[in-house]
Amino acid sequence: MRTLYPEIEPYRTHRIAVDDRHTLYVEECGNPDGLPVIFLHGGPGAGLAPYHRRFFNPARYRIILFDQRGAGRSTPFADLTDNTTWHLVADIETIREQLSVERWVVFGGSWGSTLALAYAQKHPERVLGLVLRGIFLCREEEVRWYYEEGGASWILPEKWQRYISAIPAEERGQMLEAYWRRLSSEDEAVRLAAAKAWGAWEGGGITLEESPETEASFAAPEVALSLARIEAHYFRNHAFLEPGQLLRDVEKLRHIPSTIVHGRYDIICPVKNACDLAAVWPEADLHIVLAGHAASEPAIADVLVQATDRLADRYV
């Protein structure tokens, strides 16, 4: 079984202004002359973590990572102005141009898989390969599953009770909208309390085995506020996508070498998402493994590293 590559530090960081308001934090790791890859983090709003650099052989890859609008070290923090899927797609192109990359591998998990598909369908001529994990298509049924009283509440009942306890009983019929009212409140304390409850719920379902540390990290203010505000903003706007758009436009990707990996017991993004995508995209290499949602779980990391190694063999 493949494991993550050793820890690595950036050899260069950038602050790239993409408009008059938003400035992105961007870093480069690995080999400056290697195969370019862009890493797209989840959420939206979750930001980067150091282990995200480790899915790629640093001797063979030029690893480019960035905090998306409002997330991590990008500024302004947790900001929703001009923050849509299509702004992020344009940001990826700005980064590519600024860093003088002609074509690259696109790697994304969870929300990052949504963004990777949107980017690749918009700019297929720029994509050498796709590596997608924990597929999320931001369909209404997917949002209902985890954030309204869908199936996830039956699997994580005690954590669901903590999630709904932040909302008065009379508002629980529309949890997303109830959270949105608090996450967009002018009262900072109200925003933070709602964000921490949202983050704990999301972190509580991300791994196959219980991980109090992961749950706590998602509930930390420096993660929870951007995660909850930006996710709620995107989810209530259907990720600014047309219904079924990402499945409809798979036709544009058939020629691109692509790997999909999904945990069989992924609670946040059920495996049906990956099966629905693979059903319209039989050319993609689908792997369903014994894992939950997190990219760091051994069975998922194994397939992801194999996929990036194969693409390096193909192009380097």
Q: What is the number of residues in the chain?
A: 316
- The alpha carbon torsion through 226, 229, 232, 234 (nearest 10 deg) reads -70
The pLDDT value given to residue 141: 96
The pLDDT value given to residue 58: 98
What does pLDDT average to in each consecutive run of 10 residues of the chain (316 residues)? 97 98 98 98 97 98 98 98 98 98 98 98 98 98 93 94 96 97 96 97 93 92 96 98 97 97 97 98 98 97 98 97
Which 8-state DSSP code applies to residue 79? -
Assess contact for 189 and 235: CB atoms under 8 A.
no
- The alpha carbon torsion through 36, 295, 87, 184 (nearest 10 deg) reads -150
Please report which helix (H) or strand (E) contains residue 61, including its range: strand 61-66
Rg (CA), the chain: 18
The pLDDT value given to residue 163: 97
User: What is the spatial distance between Cα 95 and Cα 99, in angstroms, rounded to a whole number?
Assistant: 6
Catalytic residue set: 110, 266, 293
The pLDDT value given to residue 180: 98
Structural domains of the chain sorted by starting position, each given as residue range(s) with its CATH number in brackets: 12-139+240-315 (3.40.50.1820), 141-238 (no CATH)
The pLDDT value given to residue 150: 78
The pLDDT value given to residue 121: 98
36: left (phi over 0), alpha (psi -120 to 50) or beta: beta
Amino acid type, 103: R
Q: Is 42 helix (H, G, I), strand (E, B) or coil?
A: coil
User: What is the spatial distance between Cα 281 and Cα 297, in angstroms, rounded to a whole number?
Assistant: 25
